[in-house]
Amino acid sequence: LHAASTNLAVKVRPLYVLLGTGGGYAGYKQYESYKDSRLEKLGIEIPPKLAQTWEVALYKTVPTRLLSRAWGRLNQVELPTWLRKPVYSLYIWTFGVNMKEAAVEDLHQYRNLSEFFRRKLKPQARPVCDSHSVISPSDGKILHFGRVKNCEVEQVKGVTYSLESFLGPQTWTENQLQKTSFQDQLVTQDGNELYHCVIYLAPGDYHCFHSPTDWNVHHRRHFPGSLMSVNPGVAKWIKELFCYNERVVLTGGWKHGFFSLTAVGATNVGSIQIYFDRDLQTNSPRYSKGSYNDLSYITNNNQDGIVMRKGDQLGEFNLG
Amino acid sequence: STIVLIFEAPKDFNFNLKPGQKIHFGEAVGSL
């Protein structure tokens, strides 16, 4: 009995240590966020607390791509009809989905969660604004917007990432060697500025995206990458998050010069589909992190690329 | 998931947005 109890103590102790340190760390983080929210309520601006290098490295060791693909497979399993309503109702309740604007309101019609996630909207649910030249391509929350300064873009206020790392080297147009910075290389007309806007799509949001303006898409660049969460809390915590994650960058031109739209994937929403690009395959094990794959939509027979009108359907995010 | 728009525009381009606001597809982001 004594020997057995000694063995048990040896076996259990590391678990206690792990639980104790993990719980302590989580508690400390909770206390920090509570303290910050109190200060914010008092109107005191708090500089973002960025993750340490080791924290980012640790997060990167989590097999997010594998988890995402497993999640995707699970959600492609056809649910029995009797189970559909309770499963989707739980999702609707958890993430505040407005089913009244869905093209198909009957929950039994969606064979699995993946299909439900890709649901379309009623045609009249989202009127496209005529009076503004740039519209929102999707439903979501505005994380940040403004001018691009010093080749740095902000994922949330005060947390930046490199424009060049995000878009990759500028090879899709004639190289402009006389221009010094990457930012200047993108600006085609004198007196123009470079602007950016970041829209976060929450799990309950409509996850298709549309053309934000009248433009011609000339080039696609697919960056296979990690699939870390991109929720605003993580975007505030991990610098360069959008440069680590899997993404599809569409670049081209509009009436004022350079225009680009980038779809950034996340753990649950790992794959991105572009309707006019059947060759694009995202969150696929055949691509390794850190590389990128280019495709030009400009050919000898088509010098305009893909012509998109404001509000046209462009693509969608998928589960896993 | 996230959508990032990066584009060139004249200096008088104005955003019709507030940080943290909820937006729907089709609503104005900005114009000249």
Scanning every residue of chain A, which has its alpha carbon at the shortest distance from the alpha carbon of B2? Answer: A200
pLDDT (tens digit, 9 = 90+) per residue, A234-268? 888 888 889 999 999 999 999 999 999 999 999 98
Question: pLDDT class for B4, splitting at 50, 70, 90?
Answer: very high
Tens digit of each residue's pLDDT, chain A (320 residues): 565 555 655 566 778 888 888 899 889 878 887 887 788 788 777 777 888 899 888 988 889 889 999 999 999 999 999 999 999 999 999 999 999 999 999 999 999 999 999 999 998 899 999 999 999 999 999 999 999 988 888 888 888 889 999 999 887 666 555 667 888 888 988 889 999 999 999 999 999 999 999 999 999 999 998 899 988 888 888 888 899 999 999 999 999 999 999 999 999 898 999 999 999 999 988 887 778 999 999 988 888 899 999 999 999 999 98
What pLDDT score does A178 carry?
A: 64
> What is the pLDDT at residue A307?
96
Q: Which residue of B has its CA nearest to A256?
A: B9
Residue B9 and residue A195: Cβ atoms within 8 Å?
yes
- Whether the predicted interface score ipTM is above 0.90: yes
The pLDDT of residue B10:
94
* Average pLDDT estimate for B15-20: 90
Quote the minimal CA–CA distance from B27 to chain A in Å. 5
Per-residue three-class SS string for chain A: CHHHHHHHHHHHHHHHHHHHHHHHHHHHHHHHHHHHHHHHHCCCCCCCCCCCHHHHHHHHHCCHHHHHHHHHHHCCCCCCHHHHHHHHHHHHHHHCCCHHHECCCCHHHCCCHHHHHCCCECHHHCCCCCCCCEECCCCEEEEEEEECECCEEEEECCEEEEHHHHHCCCCCCCCCCCCCCHHHHHCCCCCEEEEEEEEECCCCCCCEEECCCCEEEEEEEEECCECCCCCHHHHHHCCCHHHHECEEEEEEEECCEEEEEEEECCCCCCEEEECCCCCCCCCCCCCCCCCCEEEECCCCCCCCCEEECCCCEEEEEECC
Sort out which chain B residues have CB atoms less than 8 A from A136's CB and list them: 23-29
* Inter-chain residue contact A256 with B10, CB threshold 8 Å: yes
Could you tell me if A48 lies within 8 Å of chain B, comparing CB atoms? Answer: no
pLDDT of residue A232: 87
Tell me whether residues A136 and B29 touch, CB distance under 8 A: yes
Nearest CA in chain B to A136: B25
Q: What pLDDT does residue A172 have?
A: 62
**pLDDT recorded at residue B7:** 95
What pLDDT is stored for residue A183 in this prediction? Answer: 86
Q: Which residues does chain A have within 8 Å of residue B8's beta carbon, measured at their own beta carbons?
A: 186-189, 192-195, 256-259
Q: How close, in Å, is residue A142 to chain B by CA atoms?
A: 5
Give residue-wise pLDDT tens across range A146-168: 999 888 888 888 888 899 999 99
Nearest CA in chain B to A184: B8
Is any Cβ of chain B less than 8 angstroms from the Cβ of A129? Answer: yes
**What does the pLDDT read at residue A6?**
59
Give the pLDDT of residue A3: 59
Chain B contact set for A214 (CB, 8 A): none
CA distance B17 to chain A (A): 8
